[in-house]
């Protein structure tokens, strides 16, 4: 039954996403400006890396284009999360104004209702930018990925998006106890800025934090190390999958616990 239920959601989710996209695309100028602004924001980070490497040939063993690939991976994962899972940012508002009560009456799970509620089209800008700089990095490094590594790359991007979603969802669930949680979500989101660069350039404590506490490093650094042929330890190729599975499970369990404690707007 659990598998059938999961398959039901997998088939239903694209329908809701397409409806949301159609609604958003009715304002084409907003879509174009949003995508352009998102790509521009990511582009500024690229310029920063370029400026740093004007005076040095490498940073802690990482060349310019290897670091660019890490940056691109982070941008893709963040963009996918923003595009597909924007609904997590609405949880606090739904709880505060009582709208969450309506979700409890629907024949689908409340987490699914949250995820299917909205998409952020500007996330496409981050995805496109990330794919572009990753392609440029592979060309300049003259690195041809095998079919296996291409499939791993696709899987790693999906895992990265799920990790970002899970962390956001865990923070959003705190809305059942905390009146205003958006500032905390923004703060945690800002932590992801560290993973736009190889965590090897940071201190040991920060590396451990980004690996085992808030596992954002599995969205960019670890899969890049494997794809670039720099590392072949299991944490680099198996880590992203395990981290995503653990993060999604933790988010789901915490969400179930939170909704179980919810007493409705009139409670």
The token pair at 175 is 């809305």
- Cα(176)–Cα(94) distance, integer angstroms: 10
Q: What is the pLDDT of residue 179?
A: 80
More confident position, 2 or 226: 226
Distance CA 224, CA 66 (A): 8
pTM, whole model, 2 decimals? 0.91
Give 164-193 pLDDT, tens digit per residue.
999 999 999 999 998 888 888 999 989 999
User: Over the stretch 118-172, which tens digit does the pLDDT of each residue have?
Assistant: 777 788 889 999 999 999 999 999 999 999 999 999 999 999 999 999 999 999 9
Could you tell me which of 191, 169, 190 has the C-alpha nearest to residue 257? Answer: 169
Q: Report the C-alpha gap between 183 and 205 in whole angstroms.
A: 24
Side-chain-facing half-sphere of 207: CA atoms under 13 Å? 9
Confidence of residue 65 (pLDDT cuts 50, 70, 90): very high
- Of the candidates 213, 180, 175, which has an alpha carbon nearest to the alpha carbon of residue 194? 213
């Amino acid at each position: 039954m659990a598998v059938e239920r999961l398959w039901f959601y997998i088939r239903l989710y694209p329908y809701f996403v397409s409806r949301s996209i159609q609604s958003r695309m009715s304002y084409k100028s907003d879509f174009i400006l949003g995508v352009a602004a998102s790509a521009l924001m990511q582009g500024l980070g690229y310029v920063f890396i370029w400026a740093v490497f004007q005076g040095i040939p490498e940073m802690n063993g990482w060349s310019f284009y290897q670091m660019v690939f890490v940056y691109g991976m982070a941008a893709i994962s963040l963009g996918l999360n923003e595009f597909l899972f924007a609904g997590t940012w609405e949880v606090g508002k739904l709880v505060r104004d009582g709208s969450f009560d309506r979700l409890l009456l629907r024949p689908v799970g409340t987490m699914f209702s949250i995820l299917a509620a909205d998409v952020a089209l500007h996330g496409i800008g981050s995805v496109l930018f990330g794919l572009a700089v990753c392609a440029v990095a592979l060309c300049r490094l003259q690195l041809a990925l095998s079919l296996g590594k291409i499939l791993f790359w696709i899987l790693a991007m999906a895992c990265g998006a799920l990790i970002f979603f899970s962390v956001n969802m865990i923070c959003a669930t705190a809305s059942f106890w905390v009146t205003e949680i958006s500032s905390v979500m923004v703060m945690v989101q800002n932590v992801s800025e560290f993973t736009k660069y190889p965590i090897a350039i940071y201190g040991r404590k920060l590396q451990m934090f980004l690996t085992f506490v808030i596992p954002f490093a599995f969205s960019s650094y670890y899969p890049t190390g494997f794809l670039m042929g720099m590392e072949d330890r299991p944490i680099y190729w198996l880590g992203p999958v395990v981290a995503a599975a653990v993060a999604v499970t933790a988010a789901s369990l915490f969400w179930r616990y939170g909704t179980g404690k919810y007493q409705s707007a009139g409670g």
